[in-house]
Structure 1
Amino acid sequence: MLSHALEMTRDAVIGPWTPGKYPITPSPFVTNDLKYLSGTRRFQTRLGALSGRFRVTSGAGGAAGATLALDGDTILTLEQPTDPQLQSQLPMLDAYSDLRLDRIGEIQIQLDDILSFYGAMSQLDSDRRKHSLQLLVLVQSLCVQLEMQVKHYCHGKRPVDFDLGIQPVIQTPDHSTFPSGHATEAYALATVMHRMQTDQDAATGVGANALPFRIAHRIAANRTVAGVHYPVDSAAGAVLGIVIAEAVLALCTGTKASNAALNWNNLPASPASAGARDFTPATLKAGLGLGQLGGVSDVEPLVAPLWTAATGEW
């Protein structure tokens, strides 16, 4: 109906078309200015630009694991836990199952939505902090792309693959247990939130057990409560998420990107220690080592203006 009405109106007001009778000067194209695009197209363009700066490959020398690189420089290498190391954590899943009835509401909501839990601590909406919200969604989406590749190369068996008695309260996903995608995304969001609010890096926030990181830990732990992840999955996911977020912030500000070294002696399922240990804020603080790459990151011009706009909202 609308198309028909528009054509009838054109015939009535324009009549026979004459070249040059109704000229208009188009706006000049400005490189890296995405305002002319819809929100969806801006998001797709920015996500594509960021994704091109990262690369995930399998472990060096045929080792079971994955390497994440930024602009060709390695920022994190994850070693796949062995089956015995994963199995050693099953008793902790059984202990965590006592919390299922208390946390089932959180577990169900967090299947598809973890961002709202950060919105609860600081108002995130499409008016007051629209750029902050856009940045957070962008970072979370980037995490999903990268974490799925890391999972592929670090393929680890889920708890139900070892013991039918685990009986998760949600369906077990089809992809690798290691690292936890929920932990990756939760800690990436925490890193960005903490930087926007305090201008502090992730290491400082983790060291102080700042609120965004406490929220991230609870989201990650809920996956163990549910019965679909081991604590070591959350430990690796936390470090992966922090490194991804720190890399994005470096691309926004032109600073040095961080690279992470995991001290497995202080994280769960340590290959160098006997027995299994839980994933807690204290073990993350002890095991997280963030260094810096040698060179300054080249600013990503399609994303940097979004960071500037987001920080102006706080």
Structure 2
Amino acid sequence: MSILDGWDGWDGWDGWDGWDGWGSGSGSRGPRGNNAMALLRSREAVVGPYGGSGQLRMPRGTADLPEAHDTDALMSWSRDVRHRILLNELLSSVQYEASVGRVMLAHGNQLIAGVSRPNSKLFEAQANLVEEWAIHRAERAAEILAQQKLNLAFWDAIVPLNPRTTPFTIELILLSVAFTSHVVQRFKHELNCPRPRAYSPRIQPLLAEPGYSVLPSGHATESFMLAGLLASLIQPKKQQPPARAAEQKAWFDETSLQMHRLAARIATNRVVAGIHFPVDNAAGQLLGVTLAEFIEHCALGSQGRGWIPREFLGTHGLLTGRFEFDPFDRTQSLVEPRDDYVKTNLDARSGTKVTAPIEMIEWIWGKARAEWE
């Protein structure tokens, strides 16, 4: 799924672009068109006739041009412009290597994540599971419909997100979702796996079928990325009085758990709706968790935790027609050593920490993190 398809269309909050009553929808503070004639007359009265007064430069503390390549200049640009600049920084930091049925994502010469697709027999067998899960459609229909696009109301219900108090957190969320969407669409294109109804006319999906491939699940990828990203941002300060530290840890642990439960439910709802297989969610969780770690690394570099390179092996024997996605099952853990349908290289994590952060991603992360301190 793409941010251009409406993941940033949080309609209830889009109005904050015009917080001052006269900002344009793009975030610039310029007059609306119906003020043009009034401003024309006002200028004539206020400025008076041309007087040839020469330069009347606004004081900047220097007579020279503003500093070039100044990361702090991002603060002067509108949010949509910052979004494009920062998205370009993230996208240009990764490379893809695709072979038949397999895609690898890397940062320089270091693996971030890889996915190889299952064979058609697994998808055909899992179609029976998708049909079984259709029994839950009636009770989950409201959620399924509300979660077609990124709906931050679900996340705000767990951790407070507000355009006035956490504007940079919201910017970082939309940036990270856009980056993740670009990555997952490249994986989907290369792996090219049909959706469930291609295997059975009994599926009859609840939603219109998206116009792209099924593996990995975009909702799972983006939701688990978002759960990991927010968990990193809201971590309590390390230096706290013991009593306060215990309180904050209890809040953080519960909040993080609920966010990961939400990510799992959003992913599962796509299977219930009949447009994904459980195996799609397993691949999406792996990609999303790893991308959250990578985005944090782009901001923190060696001061962060690095990321764990992981690969999803779709043809592994443990993936059967009865495989059910359950991220809270320890056998499906992504933070412990694995060498089955998931390969985790824990030893490589220390190596990922040595690469430098991306300066502009470090800037937006710092702004967002400060909103939680």
Tell me which residue corresponds to 2:11: none
- For residues 43-82 of structure 1, what are the structure 2 equivalents within 5 Å? 43-59=83-99, 63-82=100-119
- For 2:307, what is the secondary structure of its paired residue? strand
Q: Answer with 209-218 or 13-22: which moved more.
A: 13-22
* Equivalent-residue separation in structure 2 for 1:94 and 1:46 (angstroms): 41
- For residues 299-314 of structure 1, what are the structure 2 equivalents within 5 Å? 299-314=357-372
Question: TM-score, normalised to structure 1's length?
Answer: 0.88
Number of equivalent positions: 302
Amino acid at match of 1:185: E
* Equivalent-residue separation in structure 1 for 2:40 and 2:270 (angstroms): 56
The equivalent position to 1:218 in structure 2, one of 265, 280, 298, is: 265
* Equivalent-residue separation in structure 1 for 2:294 and 2:169 (angstroms): 17
Q: Deviations over 1:52-106 (max 9, x none)?
A: 11123313xxx31211112342211110111111111112112211100000011
State yes or no: 1:278 paired with 2:316: no
Question: TM-score, normalised to structure 2's length?
Answer: 0.75
Q: Cα distance, 1:312 vs. partner?
A: 2.2
* Equivalent-residue separation in structure 1 for 2:177 and 2:59 (angstroms): 40
- For residues 257-272 of structure 1, what are the structure 2 equivalents within 5 Å? 257-262=306-311, 271-272=316-317
Tell me which residue corresponds to 2:28: none
Tell me which residue corresponds to 1:242: 289
The equivalent position to 2:163 in structure 1, one of 102, 126, 139, is: 126
CA contact (8 A) 1:58 1:66 kept: yes
Q: Deviations over 1:177-211 (max 9, x none)?
A: 100000000000000111123369xxxx99x9822
- For residues 1-314 of structure 1, what are the structure 2 equivalents within 5 Å? 1-12=34-45, 13-20=47-54, 22-26=56-60, 28-29=66-67, 31-33=70-72, 34-59=74-99, 63-198=100-235, 210-255=257-302, 257-262=306-311, 271-273=316-318, 275-276=320-321, 277-281=323-327, 282=329, 283-285=331-333, 289=344, 291=346, 292=349, 294-295=351-352, 296-314=354-372
* Equivalent-residue separation in structure 2 for 1:53 and 1:293 (angstroms): 19
Q: Cα distance, 1:175 vs. partner?
A: 0.8
Call closer, same or farther: CA 1:209–1:125 in 2, change over 3 Å. closer
Structure 1 unaligned regions, length at least 5:
none
- For 2:161, what is the secondary structure of its paired residue? coil
* Equivalent-residue separation in structure 2 for 1:275 and 1:109 (angstroms): 31
* Equivalent-residue separation in structure 2 for 1:120 and 1:75 (angstroms): 31
CA contact (8 A) 1:64 1:154 kept: yes
CA contact (8 A) 2:115 2:312 kept: no
Q: Deviations over 1:124-155 (max 9, x none)?
A: 01112222222111111111111111110111
Q: Note the aligned Cα RMSD (angstroms).
A: 2.5
Q: Cα distance, 1:26 vs. partner?
A: 4.9
CA contact (8 A) 2:116 2:315 kept: no
Q: Cα distance, 1:308 vs. partner?
A: 1.7
Q: Cα distance, 1:117 vs. partner?
A: 1.5
Amino acid at match of 1:29: E
* Equivalent-residue separation in structure 2 for 1:311 and 1:209 (angstroms): 16
Matched residues, percent identical? Answer: 26
* Equivalent-residue separation in structure 1 for 2:367 and 2:306 (angstroms): 21
Call closer, same or farther: CA 1:248–1:169 in 2, change over 3 Å. same
